Structure 1
Amino acid sequence: MLRAFLQRYRTMVLVSVFFFYLGCCLTINFTHIECATKASNNNDLETRDKSLSKAQYVVIIISSPNNEPKRDAIRTTWGNFVDNIFVENGEIIYKWNHTVISKQSQQNIVKLFFAVGRLGLSEIKAEKVANEQKRQKDILILDNIEDSYKNLSLKVLNTLSWISKNLKEMKYVIKCDDDSFVRIDLIVKDLVAFAPSMNAPELDKFVTLKEQQPTYKGLYWGYFNGHAKVYLSGKWQEKRWFLCDNYLPYALGGGYVISRSVVDYIAQNIDFLSYYNAEDVSMGVWTASLNAINRIHDVRFDTEWKSRGCDDNMLVRHKQTVNDMFQMYKTLVHSHGRKLCEIEEFERKTYYYNWNVLPSMCCKRN
C-alpha cells in the first residue's frame, strides 16, 4: 500500500523533499549572515584598521553619540595634522606639509580615534554610530559603557585598557575632548624631541616641572590645577570624594598627555582604582602615588573651564565651537602653520605651577 502510494505521488514527494532542504539551507545561510553581522559590529578597531597597531602616538577624543558634527569638524580640520609627522631615513620628523602629503612617508605613526559609549542607545542611534564607524573607521565603540557625564571616568578607563591591550607600539596617549582644537603635530614633535624629561631651552618659557631626575619612568603633561575645590552640589558633585578638602593635583581634561607606563599601570589595576565624575580629577588620583613620573605643567595647554584667549603658541584650545575650529584651521593653512590665531587675544591670565609649595598655593596667576 505504501509502495503504491509512493509510486502514485512520487513527483509530489520529491518536490516536497527538495523544497524542505532548500528551506533548511536558506535558514542556515540567513542565520550565518545574521551572526556575521553581529560579529562585524563587535568593536575591534584593530581588525578594521590594521595600521592602528603600528601607532606610536595615539589621540583619544572623548565624544558622545550625538556629536557627529563635532567629529566631522575635527576630521576636516586639526585631525589632518597627523600628516605633518613624517618618517625620513628612519627618523620621525615634523614638517608643515599637509596640503602636499606623502602617505607612504607618514606610515601611521599618529592615529586618532573617538571614544563613544553604546550601552542604552536606541536602535536608531546605535545604527547611526555604527554606520559612521563603517564610513570613517575611527570610532572606538564601547559596548559596555552608557554614554553620560557620570560615566566619563569609566569611559576613559575602558579606553585606556583597550589601548594597553591592543596597541603594542604605542608610546604616548594624547587625551582630549571633542570641543578641543589640538596641534597634535606639534605635541608629537615635542614628544619625539624631548620626552620624557621635557627639559630643553626651547620649552623653558612654557613649562614648569615637579623635579629633575636622571631618568623618568613616565610622563604626565598638561595644564595642572592643585587648589581646585571639591564640588559638593550641582552637575559636578562628587559624592564619593573623601581624600581631602581639595582635589589632588591633576592636568585639566581638555587635553593632556600620558606615557605608555601610565596607561599600562591604569589598565593593569582597573579593578582596584576608585573613580569620580570628572575623569581628569580621577587621573590625578590614579597617578598621585606613582614614582618618577615627570609631571609637566605647560601654559600652551588652554584647558581651563573657560578659554584664556588665543596665543599662536598654544597646543590645545578647549571650549571651542565648530566655527572656531574652522577659523583656526583656515588661519594655520594660510600661514603655513605659523599662526593659530586670526588675532592674538588674552582674556584671562595664566599661571605657572609652583611645584615647590603646597597645592593650595600652587597656582597664582601672573
Structure 2
Amino acid sequence: MHWHKQLIYAVLCGDLREHDVENSSTMFTRSNRIAVLISSSVLFSFTILQFSQSNISYENDSSFTSVFQEEPVEIRRTIREDLNQNIVTIDRDLFEEMAFHLRDAPYDGVGNYTRFMTALLGLKELTDVEPLVPGTGPVINDVSSFEYPFAIAPCREKLTNHRSLFIAVISAPRNFERRATIRRTWPNHLKNQTNSNKPLDIVGFSFVVGLTKDDVIHQKLMEENERYRDMLQVNMHDKYRNLSLKVTGLLNWVHHYCPQVDFVLKVDDDVYVNVHNLATVLHSHPPSERSVYGRKCGGDTISERIPRNDSKWIFTYESWPWRNIPQYYQGAGIVIAGSAVRPLLAAIQTTPYFIWDDMYLIGLCAVKARLRIRTSESIFVDWPKNYADPCFVRNAVTWTLRSSDQMNSSHFVTHNLYRNSTASRCVVRTYDVGPNVTLVNQLESQINETAIASEFPFGFMEQN
C-alpha cells in the first residue's frame, strides 16, 4: 500500500503508536509531500482500537484546510486521565473525505478492515470484558453475552478413542420441513456407521435457530423443541443481517458447553452429509491442530461478480470501500477443530461484525486468529447437478440440495451404496487407447468400497 493510504488509515483510525509520541505532539515526516485535511466542523468520535496505554483525544484547536508542505505536520495530542475508554475525536467531513480515497483500493487485510469499520460504526472498546486470548486486540464485541431460551444438554464426555464430533445445523425458525427431513435421513447413519474402522463419537447434535416475531411460528417451534429436544435457540432476531451474530452465539455455546470436542461440523439445513466420508476425513487430521476445513471461494473483484447495489450482499462503497473481497469458505458446510473455537471467538471479540457471515467467519476472523485454513474441493459441493449418483456420493462429503425430494434421493443412494453393494455401485469408465491413439475398447469397473483419506486431499488457503 502506498504511503498516502497508510497516512489515511493513520489519521482516519487514530493509528498513532505510543512510541511515536514525544511530549505533547506527534510528528508525521515524509520525504514526499503530504496532505493533512483538518477542518473545524462538527466533531465525530470513535474508539482507538490499538496501542494506547493512555486515553487520547485529538483536539480541534487549529483549523487547517488542505495543507501541502514539505515540513513535518504536527497533530496536537492531549491526555485525558479521567476517561475510562480510548477516544479519538476528528471531523466527520474529514472521515468521509479520507474514506472516499479508499474507494477501489485493493483490500489490504483484516487489520485495516477493523480500523475502517471501527471508525465507520463508532465502536468503543468494552473495557469491562476480558479478552479470551490476550494480545488479540481491544474487545468490541461481547461474545459471552448470548442467552439461549431453549438449548440442548451440554455435550457428553467422550467415551472412546475415536474422533468426537458436535454437529450444528443452522436453520431458520420457519424451516420445519427441512428439519423433519434431516431427522429422517443422514443423522441415522451417525447411529450405525458402516465404515466401522473409523467411526465418529457424536457428543452432541443440534438445530440452531434464532428468535421469531411470528407468534404462530414461535408456538410451533416451542412444540417442536419439546418433542425432539434437539434445538439450540440464540437470543437474536433470526434474519439474514444477523447471521454473523447467530454463528457467534453457536461458537460461544460450544466454548462453554462442549469444550473438549475434537471437531465441530457446521452445516445449513439444506445440506446432506455423507457421514462415512466425513469420518474418513476427520480421522486423517489431528484435532489438536487449530484448523478449519472447507471449500475455498471469494477473492473476487466486486464489480465483476458482486454488484455494488445488491441489497442482499451489501457491498456498498460506504460499508466496503475496497475493490475486492478476501478469500473465504462456502459456509454451508465447514468443519472447525475444537482447538480452534476459542481463538476464533477471540478474533470475533476484536473484529467488527460484517453482514456476510461466511466471509466474516473465515475470511476475516479465522485469518486474524491465524488458524490453518485447509481447503478441499470434495468437502463441500454447492448445488451439484448429478447428486443422486453413486460415484458422486462416494467422492463427496457434504452438498447442498434444493428440496426435500433431493435430500431423500441423496439418502437413498448413500444408504444403498454403503449397505447394499449389489443395488448401488460406482461404475468407473476407462478407455484403452491403441498405439495410433485410436479408441480400441471401453472398460468398466465397479467400486463399492468406501473412499480412503488420500482421496480427499487438502491444500491451504492464502491468508489475506
TM-score by length of 1: 0.65
1:109 equivalent in structure 2? 202
Output aligned runs, 1:273-312, within 5 Å: 273-283=351-361, 284-291=363-370, 293-304=371-382, 306-307=383-384, 309-310=386-387, 311-312=392-393
| Distance in 2 between residues matched to 1:163 and 1:192, nearest whole Å | 21
Corresponding residue for 1:260?
338
Among candidates 382, 393, 402, match of residue 320 of structure 1:
402
406, 411, 431: which one aligns with 1:329: 411
Distance in 2 (CA, whole Å) between partners of 1:74 and 1:175 is 14
**1:141 corresponds to which of 210, 230, 233:** 233
Quick one: higher RCO (CA 8 Å, sep 6+), 1 or 2? 1
1:253–1:303 contact (8 Å) kept in structure 2: no
| Distance apart, 1:358 and its partner CA | 9.3
Q: Unaligned regions of 5+ residues in structure 1, if any?
A: 1-40, 95-105, 197-215, 346-351, 360-366
Is 1:127 the counterpart of 2:219? The answer is yes
> CA-to-partner distance for each residue in 1:260-311, whole Å, 9 max, x for gaps?
23211233454422222221111121011333x332211113444x435431
Question: Which of 183, 188, 195 is equivalent to 1:75?
Answer: 183
**Corresponding residue for residue 250 of structure 1:** 328
**252, 255, 271: which one pairs with 1:164?**
255
Contact 2:347–2:366 (Cα < 8 Å) also in 1: no
TM-score norm. by structure 2 comes to 0.52
Equivalent residue of 1:135, what SS? helix
Pair 356,140 (structure 1): closer, same or farther in 2 beyond 3 Å? closer
Q: Secondary structure at 2:354's aligned position in 1?
A: coil
Partner of 2:156: 53
1:290 partner letter: A
Asked if the contact 1:153/1:276 (under 8 Å) is kept, the reply is: yes
Matches within 5 A, 1:157-196: 157-195=248-286
Q: Distance in 1 between matches of 2:405 and 2:285?
A: 33
Given the superposition, is the C-alpha separation of residues 337 and 277 from structure 1 closer, same or farther in structure 2, using an over 3 Å criterion?
Answer: farther
User: Which aligned runs of 4 or more in structure 1 are off by greater than 4 angstroms?
Assistant: 85-88, 337-345, 352-359
CA distance in 2, matches of 1:253, 1:341: 30
Structure that is richer in helix per residue: 1
AA of the residue aligned to 1:259: A
Q: CA deviation at 1:184?
A: 3.2
- Distance in 2 (alpha carbons) for counterparts of 1:325 and 1:77: 8
Could you say what the CA RMSD is over the residues aligned between the two structures, in angstroms? 3.4
* One-letter amino acid of the counterpart of residue 313, structure 2: W
Contact 1:222 1:257 in 2 (8 A): yes
Q: Which residue of 141, 157, 172 maps to 1:64?
A: 172
Compute the displacement of 1:342 (Å).
Answer: 9.1
5+ residue gaps in structure 2?
1-147, 159-163, 429-456
1:93 aligns with: 198
Please give the alpha-carbon distance, in whole angstroms, between the structure 1 residues aligned to 2:412 and 2:460. 38
CA displacement 1:86-118 (0-9 Å, x = unmatched): 999xxx833xxxxxxxxxxx8x63432111001
Shift of 1:258: 1.0
Question: Letter of the aligned partner of 1:93 in structure 2?
Answer: K
1:215-240 deviations in Å (ceiling 9; x for gaps): x7411111101423444222122346
Question: Residue 249 of structure 2: SS of its match in structure 1?
Answer: helix
Which of 282, 285, 309 lines up with 1:233 in the alignment?
309
Match of 1:220 in 2: 292
SS in 2 for 1:162: helix
Task: Return the offset for 1:254.
Answer: 1.5
| Contact 1:59-1:113 within 8 A present in 2 as well | yes
Deviation at 1:70, TM superposition (A): 0.3
Bigger drift between 241-250 and 129-138 goes to 241-250
Query: Partners in 1 of 2:240 and 2:420 — Cα distance?
Result: 36
138 and 296 in structure 1: CA distance in 2 versus 1, 3 angstrom threshold? same
Tell me how far apart the structure 1 counterparts of residues 331 and 150 of structure 2 sit (CA, whole Å). Answer: 25
Say which structure is richer in strand. 2
Deviation at residue 193 of structure 1 after TM alignment: 3.4
Q: % of aligned pairs identical? A: 21
Separation of aligned partners in 2, 1:358 and 1:166: 30
